[in-house]
Amino acid sequence: MNNEVFACSMSKKSIERLQGNNEVFACSMSKKSIERLQGNNEVFACSMSKKSIERLQDNNEVFACNQEKKSA
C-alpha cells in the first residue's frame, strides 16, 4: 500500500503514523481539518460526493471509503 492512501479500516496507530505525511485523511478528523487537507488534492473526505471521489481517485493518492480493500 502507498503511504498516500488511507484505509478507513486501519488501526488508530496506523492512521496516526500516516497522518504525518499530510497525504492522508482520517475519517475521525474534524471538518475544519478535512477542508484544509482537501486543498492538497491528496486527501479523500468521506463526505465527498461520488463524482468527486472518482475524480480524485485518478491521482492514485486517494482512497475511497467505499472501495473494497482489494482495490486499495
The per-residue pLDDT for range 46-63, each reduced to its tens digit, is 545 555 656 655 554 444
pLDDT at residue 40 in the model: 52
* Interval 9-38 mean pLDDT: 54
CA distance 2 to 61: 8
* Interval 13-35 mean pLDDT: 53
CB 34 within 8 A of CB 53: no
> Within a domain: residue 28?
yes
> Within a domain: residue 52?
yes
Residue 37 structural domain = 12-57
> Within a domain: residue 31?
yes
pLDDT at residue 49 in the model: 55
